[in-house]
Amino acid sequence: MTGSDLDATDPRTLPGFFDALADGELLGGVCADCGQVLLPPRPACYACGSRAVDVESQSREGQIFSYTAVHTPPPAFEADAPYTVAVVELADGGRLLGRVTADYADVTIGDPVELTVREPTATEQEIALDYETDWPVHVFEPR
């Protein structure tokens, strides 16, 4: 499939990625030329530029690669602050950014986590762009 064949149902687009996530499947792009895992998937590899990107199921388990606390969030999320956000390296090699359901003080690099998916809250739906309102929210739970 070439880039010109892409539409919003393709998992190499954000709508397609989130549709698959809503159906319980975490999909990643895997570059056929260099092996780079792309999360979310993209139609071209950001490591080598190849357009030979396959879509494959990815592990939901991984470990904290980097993390931070958000103390000054967008106004709609002020009541949630501070909250922890991390880059997680999944078992299959891809990295994905998301919230962690643990206090910053309780998180360290290398901690095992697992991706879970939930419905967006009313506040999240309210601030979402029109095409994002049905997208699930992914969070990482400590294991």
Q: Which among 16, 38, 57 is the end of a domain?
A: 57
Residue 52 domain boundaries: 6-57
**Which three-class secondary structure state does DSSP give residue 21?**
helix
CA distances from 62 to 6, 73, 110, 142 (A): 29, 25, 9, 10
Confidence of residue 6 (pLDDT cuts 50, 70, 90): confident
- Please give the DSSP secondary-structure letter assigned to residue 142: E
Residues 46, 65, single domain; the answer is no
56 forms beta bridges with 28
Q: Domain count of the chain?
A: 2
Residue whose structure tokens are 């009541």: 79
- pLDDT recorded at residue 4: 54
pLDDT greater at residue 7 or residue 124: 124
In a shared domain, residues 121 and 69: yes
Is the predicted pLDDT of residue 74 greater than 50, yes or no? yes
How many other C-beta atoms can be found within 10 angstroms of the C-beta atom of residue 119?
Answer: 11
pLDDT in tens, 23-61: 999 999 999 999 999 999 999 999 999 999 999 999 999
pTM of the model: 0.89
